[in-house]
């Protein structure tokens, strides 16, 4: 195989939402989700990636899973990681993740954060992320992960 045929062996092969992901207060005092996305190549090494990142937020359903109700997607954020200067601003060298603050969280997230600040540990936030990117041989790839932020 020639070098030109290899493509990009350091391209992202898998993605996970890091446990560093959390709710916090933004500079304006409102609740925000700070999403940490970790990308690894096929050898398990941390890498930076390019592409279209989407973070979906799911609202807990009434009655929960026992009632047969599934959570509904309430909001999504689209982040363009193809623009290299913007991409660079998200990368956190210490954690080797893309640290993406998601502003504009709905009121129930605000209420949940407020209850956690008072010591209540109930409730959770479900998120699904996808990254449309290019694999090591130049093929289109869709990486996906799901995560729950719990108090």
Q: pTM for this structure?
A: 0.86
- The confidence band for 6, taking pLDDT boundaries of 50, 70 and 90, is low
Tell me: pLDDT of 145 over 70. Answer: yes
Q: How far apart are CA 21 and CA 24, in angstroms?
A: 10
**Contact criterion met (CB below 8 Å) for 21 and 36:** yes
In tens, the pLDDT along 73-90 reads: 899 999 999 988 888 999
Give 20-51 pLDDT, tens digit per residue.
Answer: 999 999 999 999 999 999 999 989 999 999 99
Question: Region 125-142: what's the mean pLDDT?
Answer: 92
Burial 27-61 (b: 16+ CB within 10 A, else e): eeeebbbebbbbbbbeeeeebbbbbebebebbebe
pLDDT of residue 1: 45
User: Considering the chain, what is the average pLDDT of its residues?
Assistant: 89
- Tell me the pLDDT tens digit for each residue of 68-127: 456 788 999 999 999 888 889 999 999 999 999 999 999 999 999 999 999 998 899 999
Q: Is 144 left (phi over 0), alpha (psi -120 to 50) or beta?
A: beta
């Amino acid at each position: 195989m020639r070098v030109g045929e290899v493509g990009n062996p350091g391209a992202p092969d898998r993605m996970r939402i890091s446990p560093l992901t959390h709710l916090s207060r933004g500079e304006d005092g409102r609740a925000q989700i700070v999403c940490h996305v970790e990308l690894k190549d096929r050898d398990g090494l941390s890498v930076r990636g390019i592409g279209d990142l989407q973070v979906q937020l799911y609202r807990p359903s009434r009655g929960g899973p026992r009632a047969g109700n599934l959570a509904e997607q309430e909001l999504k954020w689209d982040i363009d990681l193809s623009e290299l200067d913007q991409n660079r601003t998200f990368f956190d060298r210490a954690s080797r993740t893309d640290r993406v603050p998601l502003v504009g969280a709905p009121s129930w997230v605000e209420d949940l954060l407020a209850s956690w600040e008072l010591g209540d540990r109930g409730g959770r936030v479900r998120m699904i992320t996808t990254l449309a990117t290019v694999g090591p041989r130049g093929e289109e790839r869709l990486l996906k992960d799901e995560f729950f932020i719990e108090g």
